[in-house]
């Protein structure tokens, strides 16, 4: 059984796959307590893999995004394999503080200040910008680096940081800007 906060269909609003239709599996609970977290993720329903797959199968997208909370607390190799067997491309949004199954297709690491990274594979790094030194993240093994304003409040400062560090790209929470889930 896995503790699920919600499963829904929408467009990816952040990072590399912005604008892509996806089924989001939002897991409950997180091992960190970030002050800026915009997700109510403590509540949840225990669901079997079969129930999760049935719900995911109701939507036409091939992309599935495992998010949370912190999804690495709830997933394993077998669960990701079941999603693959259902024809899904599996992405995860993680804080990187727990190891991940090696069969995830796309890893978005959103490292948090004070969190010790335990993953070595990531496709993109997405940092919520609060004025911190972003160069400390540039050594991470990713091809894509995104800087995101904190809840779209500090856009000008984030744009300025990206302009000073052109290896980064701006990532806005477009789902909030266009008022979708």
Annotation says 39 is catalytic: yes
Among residues 96, 107, 151, 97, the alpha carbon closest in space to that of 129 is found at: 151
Annotation says 91 is catalytic: no
Annotation says 34 is catalytic: yes
User: In a 10 Å sphere around its CB, with 0-12 CB exposed, 13-18 middle and 19+ buried, how is residue 8 labelled?
Assistant: middle
> Contact at 8 Å (CB) between 44 and 28?
yes
Q: Residue 117: CB partners within 8 Å, gap ≥ 6?
A: 96, 97, 109, 111, 140
Annotation says 24 is catalytic: yes
Task: From the candidates 18, 20, 34, 174, give the one annotated as an active-site residue.
Answer: 34
Q: Is 136 helix (H, G, I), strand (E, B) or coil?
A: helix
Task: From the candidates 6, 14, 24, 63, give the one annotated as an active-site residue.
Answer: 24
Task: From the candidates 14, 70, 93, 124, give the one annotated as an active-site residue.
Answer: 93
Task: From the candidates 37, 62, 130, 157, give the one annotated as an active-site residue.
Answer: 37
> Contact at 8 Å (CB) between 75 and 102?
no
Task: From the candidates 6, 27, 30, 109, give the one annotated as an active-site residue.
Answer: 30
Task: From the candidates 20, 39, 62, 174, give the one annotated as an active-site residue.
Answer: 39
Annotation says 76 is catalytic: no
Annotation says 145 is catalytic: no
Return the ∠ at Cα 21 (arms to 142 and 94), rounded to 5°: 35
Within 10 angstroms of residue 149's Cβ, the number of other Cβ atoms is 20
Annotation says 120 is catalytic: no
Q: Whole-angstrom distance between the N-terminal and C-terminal Cα of the chain?
A: 25
Residues recognised as catalytic: 24, 30, 34, 37-39, 93, 175
């Amino acid at each position: 059984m896995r503790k699920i906060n919600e499963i829904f269909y929408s467009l990816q609003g952040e990072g590399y796959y912005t604008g892509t239709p996806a089924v989001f599996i939002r897991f409950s609970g997180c091992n960190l307590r970030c002050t800026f977290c915009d997700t109510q993720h403590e509540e949840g329903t225990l669901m079997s893999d079969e129930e999760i797959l049935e719900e995911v199968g109701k939507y036409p997208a091939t992309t599935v995004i495992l998010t949370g909370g912190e999804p690495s607390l709830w997933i394993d190799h077998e669960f990701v394999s079941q999603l693959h067997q259902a024809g899904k491309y599996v992405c995860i949004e993680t804080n990187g503080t727990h190891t991940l199954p090696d069969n995830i297709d796309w890893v978005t690491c959103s490292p948090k200040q004070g969190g010790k990274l335990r993953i070595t594979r990531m496709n993109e790094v997405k940092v919520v910008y609060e004025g911190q030194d972003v160069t400390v993240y540039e050594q991470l093994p990713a091809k894509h680096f995104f800087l995101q304003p904190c809840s779209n409040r500090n856009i000008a400062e984030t744009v300025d940081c990206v302009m000073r560090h052109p290896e980064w790209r701006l990532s806005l929470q477009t789902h909030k800007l266009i008022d979708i889930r």
